[in-house]
Structure 1
Amino acid sequence: MNTALNATRTNRQTLLVCFLAALAGLLFGLDMGVIAGALPFIAREFTLTSHHQEIVVSTMMFGAAIGALLSGPLSSLWGRKKSLLTGAVLFILGSVGCAVAQSMGILSLSRLILGLAVGVASFTAPLYLSEIAPERIRGSMISLYQLMITIGILAAFVSDTALSAGGHWRWMLGIITFPALVLFLGVLTLPESPRWLAMKDKNQLAETVLKLLRSSDRDAQRELAQIRESVKVKQRGLQLFRCNANFRRSTWLGVLLQFMQQFTGMTVIMYYAPKIFEIAGFATTREQMWGTVIAGLTNVLATFIAIGLVDRWGRKPILKLGFSGMAICMAILGYMFHTGIASVSAQYAAVTVLLIFIVGFAMSAGPLIWVLCSEIQPLAGRDFGVTCSTMANWIANLIVGATFLSLIDAIGSANTFWLYAVLNLICVVLTLHFVPETKNISLEHIERNLMLGLPLRRIGQPASHHGGIHSAAK
């Protein structure tokens, strides 16, 4: 009975630690969501053109790309915990700056600072979660990070709707300060990653953390032995990228996965939701804002599908289903915008298809891309590989966010959505040919398969007995 009680206690402790780390995702989501509701008011306040609005939106993505680029060295040098604390401080500075901005320039600079915060958080939080969580629930715990992003988006949409009646866009942007303070205080209570501690030869501390987070001392000691074996290979990502073709494969796969996620078209729905509801025929600000709330709520609820299924069905089947569904929804929306949405029933049909699209993303590409990117990189180059994939996410995000309104102006709403339908079909093909299945496979086994030269789609299979983890050093 004592063993069972101890297992329950440590499992709860693990969940608590993972939840606090995933709070970074809440801030990420808030930053994504608030601009959707605030943008129409900002455009009127500063008399912004469509191009200027794209700049305000995409400045955050540019900052996030820089933040992701800096996060690898920062996380390796300072540790995961201090990197998360740095992100929390940047969240506070950026949100306060947005709230008091008196010009588009100051607003854009503050959005840049928020972007740096998001870049740090989007790199460090999934990495930390992948290193803290036991492998049997690793997918679910990293999906928790995506859930917190969706909750943040929903919270932003709700607050935007509540504040839109008075046009209080400064409060919409400044309200992020309060959860940022909570994140800062929460991260102060977190343990450092046992993998990072072992990399720094702090094995006693690593064992203490593992005993706190695992169901038994035996599990903790066995995992520490695996970690100590793997960290004999020191972090040397850039050198490994130059000389090891297998590591280049995993790095480019991470970059590809992030472009696949962003080119689904979900990003534009989150950033420009009121605009999309306007295209669908909902003319009033109130209708558009409530539409964004419903979209945000759907995003949250559908993410639970991923959390429930990712460690049962696996990553690859869910991705194939999600990309296929999103392609169909984008094609239907394009057709509806092409033929015109003239009746109330057509408006609600368009909204229904849009919500189905959101379900497809939230149960698949939204969380699972982050799961895969944290799993496929070998330890010797993990910081470098995750840095590259996270930076790719924000570069792709920047491209999508900075072109959506211009695409609609240039080729029309229907052709824009058809374009995203084609991109989703391409993602299905790429998933079939390159994406591995990694459920219930340890990070060390995935690394061994990669370094043995197995095709990317097979690196998640149970590891063969010949070869070893030290092949990463070759």
Structure 2
Amino acid sequence: MNFSKRTNYICFAVALGGLLFGFDTAVISGAISFVKTQFSLDTVAEGWLVSSGLLGSIIGVFTTGIISDRIGRKKTIIIAAVMFLLSGFGCGFASSFTLLVAARMIGGIGVGMASVISPMYISEFAPADKRGRMVAYYQLAITFGILLAYFSNAAILSASGNSGSELLAEPWRGMFMVMCIPSILFLFLLIKVPESPRWLVEVNRQADAQNILYTVRPKPAADKELSDIENARARTKTASVSLLHPSVRIPLIIGIVLAVLQQFSGINAIIYYGPNIFQSAGFDSSNALMFQVIIGTVNFLSTIIAIAYADKYGRKFLLKTGLTGIIISLILCGALFYTNNTQGILLLVLMMIYIICFAFSIGPVTWIIINEIFPTHVRVKAVTVCTMALWIAVWLVGQFFPWLLEKVGPAFTFWAFAVFSLINLIFSLTIVKETKGKTLEEMDTAFVAPH
């Protein structure tokens, strides 16, 4: 049996939750102007359409924290996939603005559930020496989903003038409907995905866990892993481990800080407001949109670096290298805006450097670390807290970035992101511990707080 191929299939299939995550969050950028015109939306209604997805994500995160430990990881992932499918159909055939918002919220619930359960499942299933690479599949899928949304939006817009179809006559419907295709593929691939062995042990189904491990590991390695899982469960049960336990306290701080500072580096602001940034730099609107596609492509390709090196050089090395590049590029971008030297190619080059550094460091590594540092007994609850912190940070950046651009200008906005990235670098060097090659069970004692 090819154990490696089987494990890769499982982790790849589950990582597709990230593709739907990325697609759902990016597709609105191409559809919003058409929806605004068709339903005569004012700024409040437009903001509600965009933020309804975020509200759904928050609901999805909470839902996952409640149900995943009860019904299992696989069933939770399937529910998220169904939410994506319902959202695609619901948005595509929405007959009113209210139904469209409801469908967007359903998609947001799927995004929130996927953001918790997909990388967590992968971390529980992947072998220790390949866990970083396999969890990075999830971030790669997010970047590909964003890129897919850009290209599908452009293709539908191009075809919309040459068809009598209602979906193409109203391009935004087709833009949303495209998500049904990867959603159906996701559901199909999940058929052959087993339940997480670690969850099965948690609910006293050791025999089922053993049988699954035998399909993805050689028998001696499977028996040892099962023994380690059972011993770790016995320790945490005896110690009554909770989110306030010393063995969880430091990892929880690390997870929350990394999640928040990932967003405070400004990545979503640059991806979503890229055209506005380039237009404020003096580029025309068609070039600005082209640059956003370039940014999406570079983001996708650079994430492959994390897949190649997260397990070879370690998480801290990628964080240190990437954050250094992020800080330098943000400072120099701010300097270009401050001195009004934004007309040349240098601004684009610096933004590409920023995207590259983000894509191989805090983008995927944050997800990797969050999903590997907690004991199985509290993993869902702890990852839910960290993911909620990330979504709150997403909301804060989305709310205040336009205000910062208007009130203090792009130069000081970039420098603010640089300051947060510097804090992240210092935190990563001094507090974050290297987790490369450690089993999830070894994490139980790796972060015990000093007494």
TM-score (norm 2): 0.91
Matched-pair contact (CA < 8 Å) for 1:258–1:392? yes
- State the AA in 1 paired with 2:435: T
1:200 maps to which of 200, 203, 225: 203
Shift of 1:20: 0.5
Tell me the distance in 2 between the aligned counterparts of 1:68 and 1:238: 24
Shift of 1:335: 2.3
Shift of 1:349: 2.0
Q: How does 1:172-211 map to 2 (within 5 A)?
A: 172-211=175-214
Matched-pair contact (CA < 8 Å) for 2:202–2:377? no
Give the direction of change, closer, same or farther, for the CA distance of 1:438–1:342 in structure 2 (3 Å limit): closer
Give the direction of change, closer, same or farther, for the CA distance of 1:407–1:47 in structure 2 (3 Å limit): farther
1:437 maps to which of 430, 434, 437: 434
Match of 1:315 in 2: 315
Shift of 1:426: 1.6
Q: How does 1:6-155 map to 2 (within 5 A)?
A: 6=1, 9-46=2-39, 53-101=46-94, 104-155=97-148
Q: How does 1:251-400 map to 2 (within 5 A)?
A: 251-284=252-285, 286-340=286-340, 343=343, 346=344, 348-400=345-397
Number of aligned pairs? 441
Shift of 1:29: 1.1
- State the AA in 1 paired with 2:78: L
Shift of 1:129: 0.4
3-state DSSP class of the match of 1:398? helix
Matched-pair contact (CA < 8 Å) for 2:335–2:411? yes
Give the direction of change, closer, same or farther, for the CA distance of 1:206–1:342 in structure 2 (3 Å limit): closer
- State the AA in 2 paired with 1:287: N
Give the direction of change, closer, same or farther, for the CA distance of 1:281–1:49 in structure 2 (3 Å limit): farther
Listed as ranges, the gaps of 5+ residues in structure 2 are 161-169
Tell me the distance in 2 between the aligned counterparts of 1:54 and 1:413: 22
Matched-pair contact (CA < 8 Å) for 1:315–1:368? yes
Shift of 1:145: 0.9
Give the direction of change, closer, same or farther, for the CA distance of 1:416–1:51 in structure 2 (3 Å limit): farther
Listed as ranges, the gaps of 5+ residues in structure 1 are 1-5, 456-474
Tell me the distance in 1 between the aligned counterparts of 2:335 and 2:40: 33
Tell me the distance in 2 between the aligned counterparts of 1:237 and 1:41: 56
Q: Are 1:226 and 2:228 an aligned pair?
A: yes
Tell me the distance in 2 between the aligned counterparts of 1:88 and 1:97: 14
Spell out, residue by residue over 1:124-143, the C-alpha distance to the aligned partner (whole angstroms, 9 max, x if none).
11111011111010110000
Tell me the distance in 2 between the aligned counterparts of 1:160 and 1:428: 36
Tell me the distance in 1 between the aligned counterparts of 2:3 and 2:23: 31
Matched-pair contact (CA < 8 Å) for 1:57–1:271? no
3-state DSSP class of the match of 2:234? coil
Shift of 1:450: 2.1
Matched-pair contact (CA < 8 Å) for 1:26–1:148? yes
Match of 2:242 in 1: 240
1:422 maps to which of 419, 423, 428: 419
Give the direction of change, closer, same or farther, for the CA distance of 1:349–1:361 in structure 2 (3 Å limit): same
Shift of 1:367: 0.4
- State the AA in 2 paired with 1:146: Q
Shift of 1:341: 5.2
Tell me the distance in 2 between the aligned counterparts of 1:237 and 1:258: 28
2:444 maps to which of 440, 444, 447: 447
- Calculate percent identity across the aligned residue pairs: 36
Deviating more after overlay: 50-59 vs 190-199: 50-59
Give the direction of change, closer, same or farther, for the CA distance of 1:324–1:43 in structure 2 (3 Å limit): farther
- State the AA in 2 paired with 1:328: I
Tell me the distance in 2 between the aligned counterparts of 1:104 and 1:447: 49
Matched-pair contact (CA < 8 Å) for 2:281–2:342? no
Matched-pair contact (CA < 8 Å) for 2:247–2:445? no
- State the AA in 1 paired with 2:188: L
Tell me the distance in 2 between the aligned counterparts of 1:381 and 1:250: 11
Tell me the distance in 2 between the aligned counterparts of 1:234 and 1:75: 19
Matched-pair contact (CA < 8 Å) for 2:16–2:186? yes
Matched-pair contact (CA < 8 Å) for 2:53–2:105? yes
Matched-pair contact (CA < 8 Å) for 2:29–2:272? yes
- State the AA in 2 paired with 1:98: C
- State the AA in 1 paired with 2:220: R
Matched-pair contact (CA < 8 Å) for 1:154–1:297? yes
Tell me the distance in 2 between the aligned counterparts of 1:356 and 1:140: 22
Shift of 1:49: 6.0
Give the direction of change, closer, same or farther, for the CA distance of 1:22–1:237 in structure 2 (3 Å limit): farther
Give the direction of change, closer, same or farther, for the CA distance of 1:237–1:189 in structure 2 (3 Å limit): farther
Shift of 1:208: 1.1
Spell out, residue by residue over 1:445-465, the C-alpha distance to the aligned partner (whole angstroms, 9 max, x if none).
2211223x359xxxxxxxxxx
Give the direction of change, closer, same or farther, for the CA distance of 1:210–1:61 in structure 2 (3 Å limit): same
- State the AA in 1 paired with 2:224: R
Match of 1:470 in 2: none
Tell me the distance in 2 between the aligned counterparts of 1:158 and 1:238: 50
Matched-pair contact (CA < 8 Å) for 1:79–1:196? yes
Shift of 1:35: 2.1
Match of 1:3 in 2: none
Tell me the distance in 2 between the aligned counterparts of 1:51 and 1:129: 39
- State the AA in 2 paired with 1:200: V
Spell out, residue by residue over 1:297-349, the C-alpha distance to the aligned partner (whole angstroms, 9 max, x if none).
10111001111111111111211221221122222222223333564xx1x32
Tell me the distance in 2 between the aligned counterparts of 1:404 and 1:264: 12
Shift of 1:170: 2.4
Shift of 1:392: 1.2
Match of 1:464 in 2: none
Matched-pair contact (CA < 8 Å) for 1:72–1:384? yes
Tell me the distance in 1 between the aligned counterparts of 2:290 and 2:238: 49
